[in-house]
């Protein structure tokens, strides 16, 4: 099993939007970076773990635990001239851009960047590296385990 951090702007698709969707599953549209696309095409598998991350917002951070729910397939927004993700050079016969479906399993208290940086076990987490702007990054199993423990601790603290 692989693990991933996938960024979404909450105005585009929030964890609440995903939870409200049928089966809490949304197509991860709009990826327009070749490396992120290649992760979906070459390495993602149904069942892989996903850290749902809100970006470009007042409080960026990990907000949900999810899983990859489908194999990669062409992103239909690339063919739609009315979409902000339209790519005139992409054709149905030779699509450039892919998506996977992501199913949210649970919402968690936001693990902000400062909170993640405060944990020495996460020092090498890719999202914490300066200049990292990829919307999809791999997550090491040890980082996944640490983040799940943090999420559980934050959830327990918010209940008391």
- Asked whether residue 160 carries a pLDDT value surpassing 80, the answer given is no
Locate the DSSP E strands across the chain.
3-8, 25-27, 49-54, 61-68, 73-74, 98-99, 101-112, 136-139
- Asked whether residue 127 carries a pLDDT value surpassing 90, the answer given is yes
CATH number of 3-159: 3.10.590.10
Neighbouring-strand partners of residue 50: 4, 66
**Are 95 and 78 within 8 A, CB to CB?**
yes
- Cα–Cα distance for residue pair 87/101, rounded to 1 Å: 20
Give 35-55 pLDDT, tens digit per residue: 999 999 999 999 999 999 999
In this structure, the strands spanning 49-54 and 136-139 are unpaired
pLDDT confidence band for 131 (50 / 70 / 90): confident
- Cα–Cα distance for residue pair 110/32, rounded to 1 Å: 26
């Amino acid at each position: 099993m692989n693990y991933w951090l996938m960024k979404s702007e909450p105005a585009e698709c929030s964890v609440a939007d995903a939870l409200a969707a049928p089966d809490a599953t949304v197509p991860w549209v709009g990826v327009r970076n070749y490396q992120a696309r290649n992760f979906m095409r070459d390495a993602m598998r149904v069942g892989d773990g996903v850290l749902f991350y809100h970006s470009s917002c007042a409080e960026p951070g990990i907000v949900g635990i999810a899983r990859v729910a489908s194999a990669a397939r062409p992103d239909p927004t690339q063919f739609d001239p009315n979409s902000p993700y339209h790519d005139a050079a992409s054709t149905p016969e030779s699509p450039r851009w892919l998506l996977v479906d992501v199913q949210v399993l649970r919402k968690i208290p936001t693990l902000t960047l400062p909170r993640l940086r405060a944990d020495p076990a996460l020092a090498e987490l890719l999202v914490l590296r300066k200049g990292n702007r990829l919307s999809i990054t791999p997550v090491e199993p040890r980082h996944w385990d640490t983040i799940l423990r943090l999420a559980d601790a934050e959830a327990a603290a918010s209940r008391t």
